[in-house]
Structure 1
Amino acid sequence: MNKPTDKELYDRIRERDREALEMLYDRYERLLYSFAFRMTNDSQASEEVMQDVFLKLWKDKGSGQYREEKGKFSSWLLTVTRNASIDRNRKNKTQEVEWEERDSRHEEMPGVEQEIESKEERDELQSAIHTLPDAQQRMICLFYFQGYSQQEISNACDIPLGTVKGRIRLALQKLKENLAEERGIDHGK
């Protein structure tokens, strides 16, 4: 018997199939927990984030639904987890913005939601992030990996909001170029 796809399980969950929810939970439990833990640095908060995410899957009938044409299910699920982690951090106000050189140079970084599915892709992304100037690395780490809003970064780093937005935009553009170059993809320069 073929293993059901994520989309098939998601569709079954929408029809209130508890077995499908359990299967999806088993499939993504470790990934979501480690991703949430990376953002909250708290095991209990990470468990609560996971519960929130799977409860949202079970209950949601609104605009936050997964749409296959917009991308991979795993990327969407990681985005939901990221948002839930950010909400949890803001609610608890437990995490301070800290930046050290080690954050950009030595610490293993998780991939952006779309790049997290395999170790090779994560390594590739980490390598691409390390090619960015320190200021851009800092913005990417604070925004994507620590879950701070652009305004929070502006306040914490004492730099204008426009500078934060510009650095993030430039960093993402450079990452896209570096990853495309690494993969030998011509993206129309």
Structure 2
Amino acid sequence: MKLTFLNMPYDFSEHFCLLIVPQDQWKKRDKEKISQRTFVEYISASKHTECHICMTCLICRGLWDLFDPENPGEYTPLCTACKKLLKVFKRLRGKGEAVLLFAHTDLEAEELKKFTDYILELDKVKKFYMLQLKYFRVHPRNFEIGLKLENASIHPKDFVKIEHKKLKKSNFIDLLNENKIDYKVLYEVSKDKYY
């Protein structure tokens, strides 16, 4: 199990990070289609759909909706935590095609089950990486920007330690059913079997 240590801002809100990896090589249209459909499925899985203001106010919607961290919009700016997380997810993606999306919120277990089913039922998807961070405060002395440690010799207790776990879909769903999803764990979730 690989650990990544991130020196995060003093105060940051919830984050949801998703990287969808293709089964084989995607055509440009495949990536666009999967990305657009993922936005729709995320909205339908989200608890925010019950609030008229959350759905219609662009500023409010920017606080919870998915966005492309490499092309953020006016209402979905990259915060300091996003910039640090983006480096980690770009490294995971490598040079290959993948859908990379962030949100400044998190999904609950029931919402994640629906979302997981949707993603891994797609023929052209091999697996996904997902990380959720809850609201977190670190000691002010580590408020500096741009520092990332890997396999560091010092591990201050106020750094965010991110673990990496590989699971099959059924094992991930079991964790969700038992409400044992861990924040600060990067889940790599693949299909139970390939066709």
RCO greater where, 1 or 2, for CA within 8 Å and sep 6 or more?
2
Superposed pair shares fold, TM > 0.5: no
Q: Whose Rg is larger?
A: 1
Task: Give the TM-score of the pair, scaled to structure 1.
Answer: 0.29
Q: Give 1 or 2: higher strand fraction.
A: 2
Larger helix proportion of the pair: 1
